[in-house]
Amino acid sequence: MRKLIGILGLAATALLVGCGGGGGSSGDTTERYSITLQAERTSLPVNTGGYPVGIGASAPYTTTLYVNAKEGNDPIPDGEDIFSCNTAYGLSSGPLYYLDGDEDHEDDDGNPLAYRTITLGSSAGGNSFHFHAGDQAGVATITCAVTDPRDSRVYSASVSITVGGGTGTGLPASVYAIAQSEYLGTQGNLSNLPASVNISATVMDDAVQPVPDPSAANLQIRILPTTAAATGARLLLGGQSGSQVLATTTGGVANFSLSSGPNRGAIVLELTADRYDNNVANGIQDPIVQLTAIPVVDGVSETALSFSAATVEAANGTSFAQALEASGGTAPYQWTIVSGALPTGLTLSSDGIISGKPQTTLGTYAVTVRVTDALGDSVQAVVTITVTGEALAASGSCSATKGVASSCALTATGGTGSYTWSAVGGWPDGVSLSSSGVVSISSSADVGVSTAAARVTDSAGSYTTISVTITVTDPAAD
């Protein structure tokens, strides 16, 4: 964090003499003490972005304060721990800092530490320190005191610094909700889980400050009927009960409860404020909407459900089976593919077994798989399948001349071991296919071009089907 050094013009001086004190009387000294406290700026913006403390024009959320004391018209003597300064009111709007480079006033990383009370020495009767605005609007009162050692009288001075004055509209700009529990049990669940949960909803203005307390309901909450878990669920707020309630915030916060129905899943709540007038009881003209989801479960497992990424290898044309494994949660598990696709010939069963005979292009295939346990908890991971071995492929066409018997051989590649051919469907008259892949065309075959389907199967049982073109020409036409 940077520490910037600079001095701006002085403003807002507070002066108080002869305040409080110990023993003695005014006649005990000939020159009484007096103290002044000045702030460079008495108005700072709200620091909702958490901007770091500093000095100078690049530190708009920090102001420097100067404290001075005199004995009559002369500066009080120099010394240690002369001044004691504290935030007498409004600490939530900002703390005090030394910014003097002293390691005792910094953390291990060299960042300045924040204080409510600081003690300062005197140099020519004065010293300086700093106030840094926080993320809450308000007025902070800073008081510094000096004690006259001659009679123990205490003299003090104060100055007030306004944080965020006039920067907000007081009208809603955002809404967010926080539930006291991460999940909700279904009605009638056997795991003794609470079937209702308290939820706090906060309405903030455009300066990220809580909206002022309204005179009427200023927050509408309703259950969206878009999930199975919404059936039978209801909102509870005072005498209100149902799928919608109206709430009135205090300090920007409204509290209500959500009661579950019999179904697990997620209940989606819609929270709406009205920026027009911070009032939802008279209709909503300028809605500020936020959605939040509350999970509803039948139970909670002793250990979390876990499923790690997996890598497997499968050969083209070879029978393959691989069981995916999960741990934790509550069995049984259900498995589904979320995205991607398995290689052609392989499938994933609901109990997590990838099986089949791949028949596809060599390469790597990635699919995202989700596993869900018996209580509805789910996790997902990527399963990578590497396909090896050349896929079974076939090709071939035949031609002949009318009146002349002829033959041709179809060809197959890839796959495993030997090939067996068979005709699929009807073939032209006078044309046949042997198990070894030889197409025979008799002399009586009709002139013309025809197609026929042929299937080749390898020794592992994988097969592919091709279309064979058969052409018979008439020599008399030449």
Label residue 98 by pLDDT band (50, 70, 90).
Answer: very high
Rounded-to-integer distance, Cα 130 and Cα 96, Å: 6
Q: How far apart are CA 414 and CA 417, in angstroms?
A: 9
Q: What is the pTM of this model?
A: 0.59
pLDDT given for residue 6 in this prediction: 34
Chain-centroid distance, C-alpha 342: 30
pLDDT at 223 over 90: yes
Structure confidence by residue, pLDDT tens digits, 134-171: 998 899 999 999 999 989 999 999 999 999 876 678 89
In the predicted structure, residue 97 carries a pLDDT above the cut 50: yes
Residues of the chain with CATH 2.60.40.10: 172-297, 310-388, 393-477
Phi then psi for 27, rounded to 5 degrees?
A: -80, -5
Q: Is residue 363 scored above 70 in pLDDT?
A: yes
In this predicted structure, the answer to whether residue 9 has a pLDDT above a threshold of 70 is no
pLDDT-derived band at 26 (thresholds 50, 70, 90) equals very low
Quick one: average pLDDT of 86-111?
93
Return the SS3 of 403. coil
Q: How confident is the model at residue 302 (pLDDT cuts 50, 70, 90)?
A: confident
For the segment 103-112, what is each residue's pLDDT rounded down to a tens digit? 999 999 999 9
Q: Are strands 117-122 and 126-132 parallel, antiparallel or unpaired?
A: unpaired
CATH class of 393-477: mainly beta
In our burial notation (b when 16+ CB lie closer than 10 A, e otherwise), range 311-324 reads eeebbbbbebebeb
| Residue-level pLDDT at 362 | 81
Q: Which of 96-105, 356-365, 454-463 has the highest mean pLDDT?
A: 96-105
Mapped onto helix, strand or coil, the DSSP state of residue 103 is: helix
Residue-wise pLDDT for 372-418, tens only, equals 998 888 999 999 999 988 777 888 899 999 989 999 999 988 877 78
Span 118-139, average pLDDT:
94
The CATH architecture of the domain made up of 310-388 is Sandwich (2.60)
Domain 172-297 has CATH 2.60.40.10: yes
Q: For domain 11-163, give the CATH number.
A: 2.60.40.2550
SS3 of 124, please?
A: coil
Q: Is the pLDDT of residue 366 over 70?
A: yes
d(Cα 338, Cα 348) in Å, to the nearest integer?
12
Owner of token pair 């109206």: 246
Q: Round the average pLDDT of the chain to a whole number and report it.
A: 89
Q: How many CB atoms lie within 10 A of CB 71?
A: 17
| Percentage of the chain lying above the pLDDT 70 cut | 93
Band (pLDDT 50/70/90 cuts) for residue 11 is very low
Average pLDDT over residues 443-457: 91
